[in-house]
Structure formats: structure tokens, C-alpha cells
């Protein structure tokens, strides 16, 4: 049996409803179009730490309010590869158009681990949705670590993983957006080396920190040598019982902690449009 990560909400004002055993909770009883007091923000932050990804519904807020809310959790960072929304460079649009076949980030990943300081998290707001499909999966990387054997934990403990921005399988998912709004030349490659097991800076819990979109090898080893163990970890870390699945509605928001989760937007709505607005919060150096 896998232990669940959900915890009781002890503080009180927010109505927090877990959506799965592993991670994820909807937060009701909050209106993000209004300025929020520090206490409420602290409760939201605690809910994020407890549930790893939190969801809000019916929050059809303006880009300016979306930004104000995000700024309460840290400094905003722009996505390194694709330009932002007209007039709001800090807001990135995550779009799939009717005629397109690939969706942005359409595989299991943690965001931009090829940076020295990958984000704390992102706040993604649904603007336009397909009539069906386009759900997003999330996975709990604390559980992925905790369910490994003591032998595997000991093996992984000292290892570092190298992340790169140019693995073909993820570059393919960015191709449509890079056509019109690339910030870097496609050949520019970003790489960073991080611990395979990181300790979350706020919860002090250990999380498995490799991902199939960006990690290309273990530091000090070749790609060929690394591939079998990485393949095992990629399969293990996305076991269904470590995941939750979020069904979007216009005005839904997902706020994920990128330090201890991965996500995977499902590409099952060809012929329909999906438009999301994303704001990303700066993180620290993984340790």
C-alpha cells in the first residue's frame, strides 16, 4: 500500500477538498478577483505545500489580477524560450490551435529543469477550452522517492542529473510556439546539473528530481549508461497511484509546486482550440 500525502487543513478559512489520494486539492471559498489579506495568502501557500498542486474554479480574473495574485508568492520569471502575452511579458500563453497536432509540454515533465534555478511553480489559468479532453495530469515526486527501496535510495542519493533544453521529444512539443514567438535561436542549448534527489526548501521532504522531458543522463556517466536506470525512474515516478487528473473549466486555475511534482497535459482534443495563461514564480537552486 502506498501512503497518501494528503493532510488535514488545520487553519480554517479555506474550503480545501482533495481530489485524489496522492496529491491535488480544490480550494473553494476564495475570490481571486479581490485583493487578499496576508493570512489568506499564507493559507493558500500552506495548502500548496500540503497538497502539491491546488486548483481554483470560476476565477475569470483579468491578466492584471492574475499577476497580482502570483506576485504574492514570489518573484515572477519569464519563460526562457517563448515570448509572452502582448502587453504582459510575464504572462505566457499556452495554446493549441484547431489545426495543430502537438500540444505544448505534452509529456511528463517538471518545468525548465535545464535552468540553474528552476521555478518554484506556475499558476495556469484556463481561458478557452475544447468541448472535451485537454485535462492535465500531475504526479507526486515525494511519493515517487519514498516508495523506492532502501537500496535504490542509497544508490540515487549521491547522484546528479544533467538536464538539457534540447531533447528531441520535448522540442517537438514546442515547435508550433517557437515558429512565431521564439526568444532564443533553436540551436541555443541550456543545460543544468541538479541532485537526483532534492530536498524541498520549505517542507524539508525528499523528492525524486529527474524527468523524462529534460534529464538526459547522470552527471559523470554517458547517456547510454544512464538510460536504463532513467527509464525505470520515469516509469516508476508516474505510476497512476502517484497522480491526479484535473478537468478544466473556463476560469479554472492550477497552481503547482514544480519542486515536488511533474505534470502532463493530455493531447486528446485535435480540431479544437485550448488557450491557457501561465505565470511562473522564481525558485531556488535545488539541493
| Nearest by Cα to 102 from 188, 170, 185, 180 | 170
Reading the block at residue 4, the C-alpha cell is 497518501
Q: Within a 10 A sphere around the Cβ of 58, how many other Cβ atoms?
A: 12
Active site residue 284: no
Q: Out of 212, 265, 283, 286, which residue is the one contacting ligand OGA (CB under 6 A)?
A: 265
| Nearest by Cα to 165 from 108, 111, 107, 101 | 111
Q: Out of 59, 136, 165, 262, which residue is the one contacting ligand OGA (CB under 6 A)?
A: 136
Distances (CA, A) of 221 to 37, 194, 228, 231, 279: 49, 14, 12, 15, 35
Active site residue 278: yes
Q: Does 105 bind Mn ion (CB under 5 A)?
A: yes
Choose among Mn ion, ligand OGA, none what residue 206 binds, the Cβ cut-off being 5 to 8 Å by kind.
none
Choose among ligand OGA, Mn ion, none what residue 18 binds, the Cβ cut-off being 5 to 8 Å by kind.
none
C-beta nearest to ligand OGA: residue: 105
Helix (H, G, I), strand (E, B) or coil at 45: helix
Please choose, out of 15-23, 103-111, 134-142, 234-242, the segment that lies near Mn ion by the rule CB under 5 A: 103-111
Catalytic residue among 66, 174, 200, 263, which? 263
Active site residue 111: yes
Q: Are 226 and 217 in contact (CB under 8 A)?
A: yes
What whole-number distance in Å separates Cα of residue 274 and Cα of residue 124? 13
Catalytic residue among 51, 66, 109, 277, which? 109
Residue whose C-alpha cell is 489568506: 40
Q: 225: part of which helix (H) or strand (E)?
A: helix 223-237
CB of 265 to ligand OGA, least distance (A): 3
Q: What binding mask, one character per residue, do residues 105-124 give for ligand OGA by CB under 6 A, x or -?
A: x-----x----------x-x
Catalytic residue among 50, 66, 111, 174, which? 111
Catalytic positions are 109, 111, 263, 278
Note the residues at the interface with ligand OGA (CB under 6 A): 94, 105, 111, 122, 124, 136, 263, 265, 276, 278
Amino acid at each position: 500500500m502506498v501512503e497518501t500525502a494528503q493532510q488535514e487543513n488545520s487553519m480554517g478559512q479555506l474550503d480545501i477538498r482533495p481530489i485524489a489520494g496522492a496529491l491535488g486539492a480544490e480550494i473553494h471559498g476564495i475570490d481571486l478577483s479581490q485583493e487578499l489579506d496576508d493570512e489568506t495568502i499564507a493559507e493558500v501557500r500552506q495548502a500548496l505545500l500540503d497538497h502539491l498542486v491546488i486548483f481554483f474554479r470560476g476565477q475569470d480574473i483579468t491578466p492584471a489580477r492574475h499577476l497580482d495574485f502570483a506576485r504574492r508568492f514570489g518573484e515572477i520569471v519569464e519563460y526562457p524560450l517563448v515570448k509572452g502575452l502582448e502587453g504582459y511579458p510575464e504572462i505566457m500563453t499556452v495554446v493549441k490551435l484547431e489545426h495543430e497536432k502537438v500540444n505544448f509540454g505534452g509529456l511528463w515533465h517538471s518545468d525548465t529543469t535545464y535552468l540553474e534555478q528552476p521555478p518554484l511553480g506556475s499558476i495556469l489559468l484556463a481561458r478557452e477550452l475544447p468541448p472535451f479532453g485537454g485535462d492535465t495530469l500531475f504526479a507526486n515526486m515525494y511519493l515517487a522517492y519514498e516508495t523506492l527501496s532502501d537500496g535504490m535510495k542509497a544508490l540515487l542519493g549521491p547522484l546528479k542529473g544533467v538536464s538539457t533544453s534540447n531533447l528531441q521529444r520535448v522540442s517537438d512539443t514546442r515547435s508550433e510556439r517557437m515558429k512565431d514567438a521564439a526568444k532564443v535561436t533553436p540551436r541555443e542549448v541550456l543545460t543544468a546539473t541538479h541532485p537526483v534527489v532534492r530536498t524541498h526548501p520549505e517542507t524539508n521532504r525528499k523528492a525524486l528530481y529527474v524527468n523524462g522531458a529534460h534529464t538526459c543522463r547522470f552527471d559523470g556517466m554517458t547517456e547510454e549508461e544512464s538510460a536504463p536506470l532513467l527509464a525505470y525512474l520515469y516509469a516508476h515516478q508516474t505510476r497512476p497511484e502517484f497522480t491526479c487528473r484535473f478537468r478544466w473549466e473556463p476560469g479554472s486555475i492550477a497552481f503547482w509546486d514544480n519542486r515536488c511534482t511533474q505534470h502532463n497535459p493530455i493531447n486528446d482534443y485535435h480540431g479544437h482550440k485550448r488557450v491557457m495563461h501561465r505565470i511562473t514564480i522564481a525558485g531556488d537552486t535545488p539541493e
